[in-house]
Amino acid sequence: MNRAIAALWMAIIPPLFAVAAPLQAARDQVSPRIEVRIDVSANRESGPVEPCSLVEVSNGNPIAFWSTFGEVEPGRPGEGFRVVTAANRCGGGSFADAAVLPASGGRPPSFLILEASANPTWDPGPMDPGPVPAMQVVLSVTARCLTGFSPDGRPRYGDSVKEHRSVRVGEGEEFVLPIFPVAREQEVLGAREILVRVRAGLAGRPGATEYGAIAVIAAAPGTEVVVDGGVAGHTKTDGSGLVPSVPVGQHEVRLRGLTRQNAGRLVTVVKGRTVLVSPEAADGVAAAQPAFTPAGTNSQGFPEFRRVRDGAVMVRIPEGQFVMGNLETEGKPQPHQVYVSAFLVDKLPVTWGQFKRFAAATGRPLPPEPYWGIHDDHPVSFVRWDEGRAYCEWAGARLPTEAEREKAARGTDGRKFPWGDEEPSPERGVFRRNWGYEGTDAVGIRPAGASPYGLLDTGGNVWEWCQDWYDPDYYKSSPLEDPLGPRTGRARVVRGGSWDSRPAVLSASCRNWGYVGYREGDFGFRCAADPKR
């Protein structure tokens, strides 16, 4: 072993042991103590409601939590009721029915009652990215709304809205479950949505307060950055600014220029991550409605469209049949004819530059930075499935189905790879690179690797999330027209191979999977959409 390699190992081994120690300690516990934080807040027309929070430690038992929105009192005969205050209250344990009943000297009854339970378990799973603990959280939420009062003044509540999710949350990450009130509830509360945020981690871990950062982009030079009411700095001549060492949690950010004060927005800072804020997002100005504009025909003869929200180019894939699956790739009798309706799909994977705009517009933190750095023209990586889906929905699109992804990459002539049957080469795709030395490459610079429809980077660079749940035997029972994947599952399909894949994995029919909460440097995505008829 030469000196350079020895030095590299000496630099890597101590941090690995430092991370592996608490992991092993958790494995040694039959029921590790897990700390769960639940925040409930509402996005209102007049501004966000201060969140109610609960932090509890579970020893393997579910954690109960309740929250209420709005307080009401009976109106005059024939008027139903009126809202006294929009206050948000919360607490741990089971919800006490007495809390909604009028009592002498007590609080008025609540308009909306939300009850939740979270059952966390420690579950790394076979695809956990390295020795990093992760929590599987089963979250159940029930919401019921006041409909009126009985003749004796007792409040009555209508049918419940129930949500049930099972999610995998890593250290420093969070899961957000939106609850959308119906029109009447929105009118009474003035709230567009109620957000239930869940974070979980091993309890009792040493360390001081955890921090992330807030970065401002695309602002006017000299714009004042205000965090939680205090001036945290000013933007530079290029309109950017950084507020480092911001404690994790929710913070209000305002960008104040020379001529006017922009409205605030609520952002969530995550440990070790950076949240982007732009003037458009902070000002609360709604972006243009998602739409596609014609962009001509590509060299393969297929129509292209430009997505208004993020500028991505989409290719229209015609309807029709193709052979899905390949014995040479999968090694089992699965090839079958599938009919896929016409759809649009991104010509290129979503890049870091595009994802930054999304993060700034929505207040989401950026994914962790890969060791090769963040480059605007490289495919975004370290994204979870839910983050890819959220981006596509923000852009006016969706994730592609597994069948759509294979047809877009393969076409209808039964080829093995997107470009044909020739084996992969550096001119056609990015593959077989070594961890610690190289990573992704810029998108769209390998025309020799184009698919029959003109898509690029469908073989190599990054695995791409699909909409479908993963089932290794799904092809045995999948429908022959527009298959959507299994109804449930623990992992989602990824397609295309990546920068660290072996050549055969770049096959257009090769299937792989990742947990919804899986985050790794070779996972990215591209979007799809239904064409307007």
Beta partners for residue 324, in sequence order: 336
Residue 262 DSSP class? P
What mean pLDDT comes out for the span 358-387? 92
Please check whether residues 318 and 252 belong to one and the same domain: no
Please check whether residues 277 and 357 belong to one and the same domain: no
| Residue 14 located in a structural domain | no
414: CATH: 3.90.1580.10
Q: Which of 161, 145, 160 is nearest to 81 (CA)?
A: 145
| Residue 197 located in a structural domain | yes
Beta partners for residue 304, in sequence order: 315
Please check whether residues 510 and 444 belong to one and the same domain: yes
Q: pLDDT band for position 172 (50/70/90)?
A: low
Domain termination site, one of 253, 282, 311: 282
Checking 320-324 for CB contacts under 8 A at 24+ apart, the result is 320/412, 321/412, 322/406, 322/407, 322/410, 322/411, 322/412, 323/412, 323/414, 324/403, 324/406, 324/407, 324/475, 324/509
CA distance 532 to 355: 25
224: CATH: 2.60.40.10
Tokens representing residue 130 in the block: 């390295």
pTM score above 0.85: no
Please check whether residues 376 and 407 belong to one and the same domain: yes
Range of the domain at 162: 32-202
Tokens representing residue 201 in the block: 């981690």
| Residue 13 located in a structural domain | no
Please check whether residues 171 and 276 belong to one and the same domain: no
Please check whether residues 414 and 508 belong to one and the same domain: yes
List of residues 6+ apart from 105 with CB closer than 8 A = none
Please check whether residues 394 and 502 belong to one and the same domain: yes
| Residue 364 located in a structural domain | yes
Domain termination site, one of 147, 172, 202: 202
CA distance 530 to 533: 9
Please check whether residues 296 and 230 belong to one and the same domain: no
Q: Which of 491, 500, 489 is nearest to 463 (CA)?
A: 500
In order of 39, 362, 369, 423, the CA distances from 374 in angstroms are 31, 19, 6, 30
Please check whether residues 169 and 218 belong to one and the same domain: no
* pLDDT in the model for residue 239: 87
In the three-class reduction of DSSP (H, G, I as helix; E, B as strand; rest coil), residue 188 is classed as helix
Please check whether residues 190 and 235 belong to one and the same domain: no
pLDDT in tens, 256-276: 775 444 556 778 888 888 889
List of residues 6+ apart from 504 with CB closer than 8 A = 329, 510
* pLDDT in the model for residue 96: 67
Domain termination site, one of 158, 177, 202: 202
* Helical segments of 72-230, H only: 183-189
Higher pLDDT: 197 or 471? It is 471
Phi-psi domain of 401 (left: phi exceeds 0; alpha: psi -120 through 50; beta: other): beta
Please check whether residues 66 and 87 belong to one and the same domain: yes
Tokens representing residue 345 in the block: 């799909």
In order of 106, 139, 147, 419, the CA distances from 65 in angstroms are 21, 11, 23, 54
The amino acid that residue 231 corresponds to is V
The amino acid that residue 395 corresponds to is A
Number of domains making up the chain: 3
| Residue 9 located in a structural domain | no
Tokens representing residue 369 in the block: 């930075």
What is the number of alpha carbons within 13 Å of residue 388 lying toward its C-beta? Answer: 34
| Residue 15 located in a structural domain | no
| Residue 22 located in a structural domain | no
List of residues 6+ apart from 351 with CB closer than 8 A = 376, 377, 378, 379, 380, 443
Q: Compute the mean pLDDT over every residue in the chain, rounded to the nearest whole number.
A: 81
Contact 263, 254 (CB under 8 A): yes
Please check whether residues 185 and 258 belong to one and the same domain: no
pLDDT in tens, 176-204: 777 766 666 777 777 767 778 888 877 76
DSSP H or E stretch at residue 352? helix 352-362
* pLDDT in the model for residue 204: 65
| Residue 24 located in a structural domain | no
pLDDT in tens, 476-506: 999 999 999 998 888 899 999 999 999 999 9
What would the DSSP string read from start to end of 286-302? PPPPP-EEEEEE-TTS-
